[in-house]
Structure 1
Amino acid sequence: MSKTDHDRSPFGLFMDELEESVIALILGLMTLITFANVVLRYGFNTGLIWGFEATNFLFAWLVLFGLGYTIKKTANLGVDAVLNIVSPGLRRTFGLIAAAVCIAYAILLFKGAWDYWANFANLPQTSGRWFPTGFEEMTRTSYRSWYEVVDIPMPQWLRFIEPMINEGETYEKIPRFIPYFMLPFGMLLVLVRFIQAAIRIWKGTEDSLIVSHEAEDEIENVAHLNKGD
């Protein structure tokens, strides 16, 4: 079984389609906004003031969302020189150790991402220096949901959140907790994907986290073309 085809169930296929659609949507929006800005600037001497900030946020979303998807599809690159010279059993052991390290690192990333985002979402940050041990007590000065982005205007269809999170005060620009939400969400996806990878190694369906040989495959393809094969 191909390592990129470890879950071909209907739900797995649906999630693949959903994640790929989200990635395509983000790329499409970035392209559309950038193209519209170029046309407006050079054709009409104007532009979308919020376009640059929007594309920056979309690019960050693409990276953060794509991290988990890359781990899921095992498209990450790695060095397997040592793994190739050891026995399958030892390779699996090394894989479990690597997965444990990656999970610990992902927990640190998720904690930091949550604490940063919670600062703008009126939610408590976690306690503990390295790993979360609980949630800090919220005070009146902890509420910072009134922080706005610089240029992107607040759309009318999002006004319903103002009574719930901003004490009825109106936003001129969208609040920062909305675009920043991708930070903890993306790190949560990374954590979940590493846990899933560890489970696959434990069950024996994979033996390591290093699974992509795209560069080697491309070199072989070019070599065959040069030989006229």
Structure 2
Amino acid sequence: MRAWLRASTELMLLSAGVRAGQRVLDVAAGTGEQTLEIAARVGPSGSVVATDLSARILAFAAARATDAGVSTVETLACDGEELPFADASFDAVVCRLGLMLFAAPDSGLAQMHRVARPGAKASVLVFSAPENNPCLAILASTAARHAGLERPDPFAPGSLLSLGRAGALQAMFARAGFQAVQSTRLSAPFVMPSARHYVDFVRDSGAPVIKMLAHLGPGAQEEAWSEMEQRLESFTTATGWAGPNELLLVTGTR
């Protein structure tokens, strides 16, 4: 994960203006990989608050910080659409591959705007358009067919590609009150030894397709995963496997 998102995360933090001495909010922080990168940037005079809806997942972030000897990271389980922080209390706000999973991303952005100090920036990283993320499209369409479901709407609220429609996230930033909204499309291919390794990663990551297949028996599930792997093998290269992915980075100023 770190190798896949290294360059994109670097650009997200640069866009948000994260620097020494700041108090930074990391929304939907997950296991906190990027949280430690933020902590390294703000240094001992700064601090990071990592939030996520799942306390269980945040425990990994807290453990990661402890293991790294970092004492400037605080974790708090909360809903990103109802952040429990005072107005204008953060110098920067970031959210890496989390906002698209919100039931109401407009509310999430409004909260980010509220807790950001005047002049602070919020920077959000999401998946871009479906046609530029064929691996995700293959996973979803194959799972839906095996599960007897209708072909999923890629822009359905809470789906991985829900904010990939052209101009949608930028408009949300504007509605939330952010100024000088900027967006950048970033190529982020998923490089692995083989398609099988990618499928194994997806199965271990709690991806939405797992829920789609949950009602099937073990044999039927394996058939679905096998077909996904077969279709994904089209991205095999001379040195391994590289699945095309494109991310969208949007930044706005409070």
Identify whether the pair has TM-score above 0.5, normalized to the shorter chain. Answer: no
Give the greater-gyration-radius structure (CA): 1
More strand by share: 2
Higher RCO structure (Cα 8 Å, ≥6 apart): 1
More helix by share: 1
TM-score by length of 2: 0.23
